[in-house]
Structure 1
Amino acid sequence: MKSKLVILMTTFFLTIILFIFYFFYGTPWELVNQKEEFKVYLEDKYNQEFTIKKMNRSFFQKTYHASAYSKNNPEMHFNVGQISYTNEIYDGYDYGIWEKKASSAFEPILIELFPDRHNYAVTINDFTTVGLSSAEVIHDFKEAVIIGIGISMANTIVTEENIDFELGRAFKLVEFIKNEKIPVASLNISYDNKVLRIEQSEMRNIEEAEDVGPYIHYYK
């Protein structure tokens, strides 16, 4: 009687474990096959070697997703997966490359103009590549994405004494954006007591440092 109970309990727990595995990963052979399919897809598209990590499965949509990285760029992880209903493979490698290139393009000017910054971020706000086929690759981030720039100046208080200096360096950054023809959706500089926000459509109106003045405000 006791041995039957042990067998029943063991069977019950094994069934639960197998169900949990299937819920998150599907069958073992599906998992292995899809992992290899992701790897072949990436290596054929980008002509370099990739490692696939952290495979998981959407139980209800029956699609797989994973984290991956290139052997040439191991610190940059990105998503690869299947589109619902079509099962077509998509990946975020080019988006990661674009964001990295955009950050590299802004790093020197941000370090030069804002050495006292607390932090900064250059991120992708939107894409101009809607409808891009899986075989196409755009190498210039300026042609592919719209950038957002955020600069934290949390340790700086804007006063009557330093307002002209702050407007001046914000203007130089806007000049850099316009001269380099970089599509920037918005520029945000957050101070201790104020915030400066300039939208893409407003940058064309800025011709000198004084033009930046209307875009700096106290926090609401």
Structure 2
Amino acid sequence: MRKFIGIGLIFFIVSFVYMLFYGTPWGNVQAKREIVHYLENKYGEPFHVKQPRFWIMDGNFHAEASPAARPDLIFIVGTEQGEEGIQDSYLRESWRYEGHRDVAAIVTPYYKAKKIFVELYNPSPPIDNADLYAYEKYRQLDIIIDLQKTSIASKQEENMKIYQVLMAIVQQEIPIKNLSFWFKNGLFRINKTELLQLRNETELFTYWVSK
């Protein structure tokens, strides 16, 4: 008898903890429907939405979602305490996604970066009816090219490659605020004003920072 009581108690505790973070199954189904309806009505395209997480203490929920056309673009959608209705980060993450794609296309022919970090400079406040694909109209990018597995043999040689990357960024009018190349044994950093004033690759020595 005690064994069954113990099993029942464990089941109750596990169920309580699950519902504390994920809500009831029927509540999750309803929340997911609301999220899908909200996104498709707002943006006019289909979305994939994962199971919402539900905070039973204040009734808020959130979930990961992605547009069907760009499944690797993941953003957060849900309700927040103090905010009215459902909120989402699709616009911001779409701009980051597009910015990352453009920067990676320029950098990849020259470097095999471990990762390319792209953040929006001054990402708020939100802009109504903004173009999801035209981040360059609204925001500048802070970019870090992670090359910590790559050692610099010669700054002069690296300057030649970096200069090609920088000129491609200027030619394609990618709106950077700051750009860094983070090597294993050196850091190169330049901002928008400095980039637009560049005349040749020899000037790049100024922008190396010792590690």
TM over 0.5: yes
Q: Identify which of 158, 183, 204 aligns with 1:191.
A: 183
The SS at the match of 2:40 is helix
The CA deviation string for residues 158-206 of structure 1, in whole angstroms up to 9 with x for no partner, is 43xxx33322332232233333332213211123322111133432332
Flag the 1:217–1:51 CA change in 2: closer, same or farther, 3 A: closer
The answer to whether the 8 Å contact 1:80/1:92 transfers is yes
Aligned identity (percent) is 20
Following the alignment from structure 2 to structure 1, what is the Cα–Cα distance between the partners of residues 126 and 73? Answer: 25
The CA deviation string for residues 29-48 of structure 1, in whole angstroms up to 9 with x for no partner, is 33221111000011112222
Find the counterpart in structure 2 of residue 157 from structure 1: 152
RMSD: 2.7
The CA deviation string for residues 123-160 of structure 1, in whole angstroms up to 9 with x for no partner, is 12434451334x6544302123332333316333243x
Following the alignment from structure 2 to structure 1, what is the Cα–Cα distance between the partners of residues 190 and 41? Answer: 41
- What is the identity, as a one-letter code, of the residue corresponding to 2:143? I
Structure of larger gyration radius: 1
Kindly state the Cα deviation for residue 211 of structure 1 after the two structures are TM-superposed.
Answer: 2.2
The answer to whether the 8 Å contact 2:104/2:116 transfers is no
**Equivalent pairs, count:** 210
Find the counterpart in structure 2 of residue 141 from structure 1: 135
The CA deviation string for residues 69-113 of structure 1, in whole angstroms up to 9 with x for no partner, is 23322333322121222242222333333233223322332233x
The SS at the match of 1:185 is strand
The SS at the match of 2:52 is strand
**Which structure shows the higher strand fraction?**
1
Following the alignment from structure 2 to structure 1, what is the Cα–Cα distance between the partners of residues 94 and 195? Answer: 26
Alignment of 1:165-180 (within 5 A): 165-180=157-172
The answer to whether the 8 Å contact 1:67/1:77 transfers is yes
Following the alignment from structure 2 to structure 1, what is the Cα–Cα distance between the partners of residues 71 and 184? Answer: 37
The SS at the match of 2:65 is strand
Is 1:91 matched up with 2:83? no
Flag the 1:81–1:118 CA change in 2: closer, same or farther, 3 A: same
- What is the identity, as a one-letter code, of the residue corresponding to 1:130? P
Is 1:214 matched up with 2:211? no
The answer to whether the 8 Å contact 1:167/1:213 transfers is yes
Flag the 1:85–1:195 CA change in 2: closer, same or farther, 3 A: same
Find the counterpart in structure 1 of residue 51 from structure 2: 54
Alignment of 1:8-157 (within 5 A): 8-9=5-6, 11-112=8-109, 114-115=110-111, 117-133=112-128, 136-151=130-145, 152=147, 154-157=149-152
Normalized against structure 2, the TM-score is what? 0.82
Stretch of structure 1 that moved more, 61-70 or 92-101:
92-101
The gaps in structure 2 that reach 5 residues or longer are none
Normalized against structure 1, the TM-score is what? 0.79
- What is the identity, as a one-letter code, of the residue corresponding to 1:71? A
The gaps in structure 1 that reach 5 residues or longer are none
Q: Identify which of 164, 174, 185 aligns with 1:182.
A: 174
